[in-house]
Amino acid sequence: MPHQEPLGAPRTRRTPPLRGARSTRSDRRLLAPSLGPLLALVLVAGCTGEDGSGSPDGGPGARGEDAGRRAASVPTVVVPGQRVGRLAPQRHRQVAQRVAAVVDGWWDAAFVEADYPRTRYQGSFPGFTRTAAQQGWQQRDLMTSARLGSRIDALVPLRRRVAVDVLSTREVPRGATARVRMDFRTTGEVERRIRLEGRLVLTYLRGGWRVFGFDVTQSPLRPTPGQQSADRSGNQSGKRSGGER
């Protein structure tokens, strides 16, 4: 199941707003002929590590370059979550989109929009208050890809989902909780499928939504039954070749 939104919940998709030159560069890197051996490794990993059954961006036949391109631009599914207090549903959706844009900004800066291998993580917390950004920096092994960044060649998002609960009074949104989940896979020395999930809490400050708190985990992404069988019949050693240290 690629998505698990509650039944009846309205759902919109948005493409991360910060996609630009870096994303394109990243795609070009994946395809660059000069990186032949690396490309082969990426493609092999794509075939053995992904069976497509759980990915919204391609069926079982989606593989290799096309799959890589689509995965890199996987849109964020935005779900207006709980609405507490007076707020029109349309306004709730607007708030959800804006909050999701802040989450996307963090994900892109800390995980997606970068050239790997990577060791620099300054500026990974746009949209965070200064103190929250400092706290995120101190825990960058979980709040960014820093734990693996120097040992991977690419980080490809598989799913991005943000559900936004909003507190409002008098039709004015006052606070929000973003329940976030991003699945991604890495290629290179460390080939992993990882789920990042948790909560960000935000208030509206100085003309924008700002993250003032977070509770986030990263954990190995449990493969679906279909993926398990594919893994067993495929190249298991490839998946285990670069275990997390």
Partner 1 sequence: MSTRRAGRLRRTARATALAAVLATTVVVVPDAEVASEDSALVAMRHARGLDVGDRVVWILAAGSDARPGQVMTRTRGDALQLIGIDPRTGAAAAIGIPRDSYVPIPGYGSSRVNAAMVFGGPELQGRTVGNLVGVQPDYVFVTRFPFFEDMVDDIGGITVSNPRRFSDPDLKPRGFAQGRVRLDGYGAMAFARIRKTLAGGDFARSANQQRVLRGIQARVASQAGTPGFMERGVMSVLQHLRTGEGPATLFRLAQLVARVDPSRITTCVVPGTIGTVGGASIVRPDVATARRLGNAARADATLPPGC
Quick check: bond before 173 cis, omega within 30? no
Rule CB under 8 A: say whether 126 interacts with partner 1: no
Instruction: Give CA torsion, residues 85, 88, 94, 99, to 10 deg.
Output: 10
Confirm if 79 and 10 have CB atoms less than 8 A apart. Answer: yes
Site for partner 1 (CB under 8 A): which residue of 74, 96, 100, 132?
Answer: 132
69 vs 174, which CB is nearer to partner 1? 174
Residue 138 neighbours by CB distance under 10 Å: 9
Site for partner 1 (CB under 8 A): which residue of 18, 204, 224, 241?
Answer: 204
Site for partner 1 (CB under 8 A): which residue of 214, 221, 227, 242?
Answer: 214
Rule CB under 8 A: say whether 169 interacts with partner 1: yes
Rule CB under 8 A: say whether 177 interacts with partner 1: yes
148 vs 154, which CB is nearer to partner 1? 148
73 vs 135, which CB is nearer to partner 1? 135
Sorted by sequence, the CB contacts under 8 Å of residue 20 that are 6+ apart come out as none
Site for partner 1 (CB under 8 A): which residue of 82, 88, 171, 243?
Answer: 82
* CA–CA gap between residue 137 and residue 124 (Å, rounded): 8
Confirm if 171 and 86 have CB atoms less than 8 A apart. Answer: yes
Q: What angle do CA 237, 192, 111 make, to 5 degrees?
A: 155
* CA–CA gap between residue 116 and residue 179 (Å, rounded): 27
Site for partner 1 (CB under 8 A): which residue of 15, 131, 229, 233?
Answer: 131
Rule CB under 8 A: say whether 165 interacts with partner 1: yes
Per CB under 8 A, residues contacting partner 1 are 81-85, 129-132, 135-136, 139, 141-143, 163, 165-167, 169, 174-175, 177, 179, 198-199, 201, 203-204, 212-219
